[in-house]
């Protein structure tokens, strides 16, 4: 007795909706052969055919006389084939994913903003050299923050450095990560989130050590915040309803970010490692926030006016510091 076709409801390769899914396949397969289908197109059928070939089995693609396409397979292997097709369906449930937020195609402020970042660090380092008390006023000290209410210090500390090697290192790495976040978020939003990640990371770092005394300075907290932003942006896309993938796919961006953090954030004899870690942690939700904002308002990626925000935040923090210690 000849086998009948069995329709399989796989989202990756749905069968044709215009054919009778449970009718006898036409032409009827010969004895010992099982027909899978009907498929709406030969392309859809061949996708399942690749799964069969990967099992080192063979199939024949047959045009249905009443519409649709069928895969003829060895009837003895049909159960094993169904198991593999079900696994294929689970692993490719939402493939291909929806494209992530488009990269800004024209961001003339991006190169200038990288220069601006470098100038801020150079000017502030020159001020430190000219006025040694400048460093004392702006360093992020947890006792001053939590006991003295100087909540601006986690921001001012981002602009200060402990020496020439320190500032050069943060110039180079900041420009590299700044370029990446500019390409994803646009310059204005990127630098705003960059500064915020550094501020939040410094607050978390100060809280971790408090009530014991701890001080820190340098832009590296925000630089690793930028790394977290890249991870958060990628995770936000993969966790959206249209792009939920398997756990291993969702873990790729986070795993890659942690590896980069381990390779670059734990070196140096006087490195505040936990400031790097907290910056990275703070950057992840901010990167996800950036993804959400761009998905709602794509023009934010090209907004030059947002470039004023990080400068105002830094200027405000220094203004408060000078006023409180004047």
| Domain residue limits, the chain | 1-93, 109-325
Mean pLDDT is lowest, of 53-57, 176-180, 261-265, 317-321, for: 261-265
Instruction: For the chain, give the mean pLDDT.
Output: 81
pLDDT digits (tens, 9 = 90+) for 122-147: 999 999 988 888 888 889 999 999 98
Q: Which CATH superfamily is domain 109-325 in?
A: Rhomboid-like (1.20.1540.10)
User: DSSP per residue over 198-267, as a string?
Assistant: HHHHHHHHHHHHTTS--EE--THHHHHHHHHHHHHHHHHHHTSGGG---HHHHHHHHHHHHHHHHHHSS-
Is 304 within 8 Å of 111 (Cβ atoms)?
Answer: no
Is 100 within 8 Å of 237 (Cβ atoms)?
Answer: yes
The upper half-sphere exposure of residue 324, i.e. CA atoms within 13 Å in the direction of its Cβ, equals: 16
Residue 5, exposed/middle/buried by CB under 10 A (0-12, 13-18, 19+)? buried
**Which structure tokens are listed for 20?**
């009778």
pLDDT digits (tens, 9 = 90+) for 35-57: 887 888 888 888 898 999 988 98
Please say if the pLDDT value at position 96 is more than 60.
no
- Of 195, 173, 191, give the one whose Cα is nearest residue 263: 173
d(CA 12, CA 10): 5
pTM over 0.95? The answer is: no
**The domain defined by 1-93 carries CATH number 3.40.50:** no
Mean pLDDT is lowest, of 96-105, 119-128, 257-266, for: 96-105
């Amino acid at each position: 007795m000849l086998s009948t076709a069995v329709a399989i409801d796989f989202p990756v390769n749905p069968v044709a909706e215009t054919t009778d899914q449970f009718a006898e396949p036409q032409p009827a397969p010969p004895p010992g052969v099982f027909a899978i289908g009907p498929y709406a197109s030969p392309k859809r059928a061949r996708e399942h055919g690749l799964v069969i070939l990967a099992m080192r089995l063979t199939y024949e693609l047959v045009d249905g006389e009443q519409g649709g396409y069928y895969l003829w397979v060895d009837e003895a292997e049909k159960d094993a084939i169904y198991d593999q097709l079900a696994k294929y369906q689970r692993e490719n449930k939402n493939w291909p994913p929806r494209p992530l937020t488009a990269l800004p195609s024209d961001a003339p402020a991006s190169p200038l903003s990288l220069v601006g970042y470098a100038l801020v660090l150079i000017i502030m380092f020159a001020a430190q050299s000219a006025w040694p008390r400048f460093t004392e006023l702006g360093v992020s000290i947890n006792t001053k923050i939590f006991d003295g209410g100087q909540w601006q210090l986690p921001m001012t500390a981002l602009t200060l450095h402990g020496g020439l090697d320190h500032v050069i290192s943060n110039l180079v790495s900041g420009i590299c990560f700044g370029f990446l976040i500019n390409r994803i978020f646009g310059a204005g939003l990127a630098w705003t989130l960059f500064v915020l990640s550094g501020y939040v990371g410094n607050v978390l770092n100060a809280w971790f050590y408090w009530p014991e005394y701890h001080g820190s300075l340098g832009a590296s907290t925000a630089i690793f915040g930028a790394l977290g932003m890249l991870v958060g942006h990628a995770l936000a896309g993969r966790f959206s309803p249209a792009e939920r993938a398997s756990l291993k796919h969702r873990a790729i961006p986070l795993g890659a970010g942690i590896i980069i953090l381990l390779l670059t954030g734990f070196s140096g004899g006087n490195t505040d490692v936990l400031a790097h870690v907290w910056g990275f942690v703070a950057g992840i939700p901010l990167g996800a926030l950036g993804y959400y904002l761009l998905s709602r308002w794509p023009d934010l990626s090209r907004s030059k006016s947002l470039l004023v925000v990080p400068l105002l935040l830094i200027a405000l923090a220094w203004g408060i510091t000078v006023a409180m210690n004047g």
